[in-house]
Structure 1
């Protein structure tokens, strides 16, 4: 096995390859999240879209690998794993911490002279320039659990199981440290279309903070506000799939037509 293939298989999880795909969508999970979070989305977008879900170290089948508590270091390794994917148009989707990683990944693509993403999707995350002094990663385990309960993105049964908590807490704390200590480089912008998705009652992202993604690209930006909190996309899966399909279709990629969802 070549080093390139080995790196790809370490970082990427996907369903059986879809040979008739029109576009490839790389999906990056939230803090504490894993690749399996995107499997329902993958199923809905097939066969027109091949979804590649990134698996961070320190969880699931990579649970014995050390965590990486730095956004730049994570982005460097993810870029090394996917930079050779040039046979299909490429789009990026990141939720919460994943949106920050997707932003850094897109910048690395530009720096390397690779084609820019046909579209960048930022979900459930304020623009990089809108900093908050969050310090959740410095809190106790009980404080972190309270944060996770507030965001409703982690199975309640897991949060109530001391053994499971002991297993997942290191990865969660590492991810929170990575995103809370991240600082963007002013003046750097994407050169691709940006679509922002946010929940209307997300305690971690205001509408203004989501709209500020416009400052981070020289391309067009559009914002869609969904009903729900930080993990609105789990409850609004059908509408999110419809939005992704429609936006990718704008890029000249012939996507299959789906029944249009109701007003989002």
Structure 2
């Protein structure tokens, strides 16, 4: 697990989407529930030349389809913290959307607490309310019809894929596993709080997170904190990808894209 990620083979946990060599910064992206590393492939042309873009490869999907899904946050975050520790030859930044926001946060907390480990220099959370503001929807054990209906209401690429019967049969088990993970999970403000900037993004028509929910992330850090909303629902980032990535790199110290 300590191997340098190259392509899709050297590490089971990361897909190298853009970059390599000795980057100025590594941006690690954590997908949403039911999502996969390829969700971030469209970010590649928006990332500066000296930044390596990596996406997390959760078990149970894409080329890890035969790996059993992880259904406990503790297990997933522990494994990813170990994997991210191997990337510390360059500074890191984390971006996570929806479930991925909570996973990125938990990995950052573990790296901050581990002696000698190097955590991210910034944490970007998207489409997820902060600690104490999330409510379970009980979808892990919902019927297939209810689960598909809920996902369709959120839109996004996963919802579109579920319109295909064959893909639905392939995707629903991993989606249920992700919902079991997130519905069993309770976020807690770390003690001491993180000492890195945190930025919370959300869609202004997302019924899962509003301004107050986004601002709840301010409790997890003693450093700078900002929020920004974009027009749209839970998957606002698909429509507003370019301004989102530009804003992210503004906070990281560069606005120049490739």
TM-score by length of 1: 0.89
Give the direction of change, closer, same or farther, for the CA distance of 1:47–1:187 in structure 2 (3 Å limit).
Answer: closer
Q: Which residue of 1 aligns with 2:183?
A: 180
1:111-154 C-alpha deviation (Å, 9 max, x unpaired)? 11323321100011100221313211120111110111011023
C-alpha spacing 1:212/1:175, structure 2 compared with 1 (3 Å): same
Contact 2:124 2:198 in 1 (8 A): yes
* 1:89-168 paired onto structure 2 within 5 Å: 89-113=91-115, 114-155=117-158, 157-168=160-171
- Of 57, 79, 87, the match for 2:81: 79
What's the offset of the Cα at 1:101?
A: 0.3
1:5: Cα distance to partner? 1.9
Which residue does the alignment assign to 1:27?
29
Counterpart in the other structure of 1:261? none
Task: Quote the Cα distance in structure 1 between the aligned partners of 2:73 and 2:165.
Answer: 28
CA distance in 1, matches of 2:217, 2:90: 26
Q: CA deviation at 1:187?
A: 4.6
Tell me: CA distance 1:37–1:66, structure 2 relative to 1, closer, same or farther (3 Å).
same
> CA offsets, 1:167-212, max 9 Å, x none?
1111000001111110123453221100111110001111110111
Q: Contact conserved, 1:22 with 1:48, CA < 8 A, in 2?
A: yes
* CA–CA separation in structure 2 for the residues paired with 1:130 and 1:57: 27
SS at 1:164 equivalent: helix
Alignment match, 1:211: 215
Q: Which of 193, 202, 205 is equivalent to 1:201?
A: 205
1:192 matched to 2:203 = no
- The alignment yields a C-alpha RMSD, in angstroms, of 1.9
How far off is 1:4 after superposition?
Answer: 2.3
**TM superposition shift of 1:6:** 8.5
Corresponding residue for 2:14?
A: 12
2:245 alignment counterpart: 241
Long gaps (5+) in structure 2: none
Contact 1:48 1:256 in 2 (8 A): no
Aligned residue pairs, count? 252
* Matched residue, 1:51: 53
Change (3 A) 1:156 1:257: closer
- Cα deviation, residue 158, structure 1: 2.4
2-side partners of 1:41 and 1:257: how far apart? 14
Structure 1 stretch displaced more, 92-101 or 82-91: 82-91
Q: Hey, what does 1:262 align to over in structure 2? A: none
Which residue does 2:66 correspond to in 1? 64
Shift of 1:17: 3.3
Distance 1:104 1:153 in 2: 24
Distance 2:207 2:40 in 1: 22
- State the SS of the aligned residue for 1:14: strand
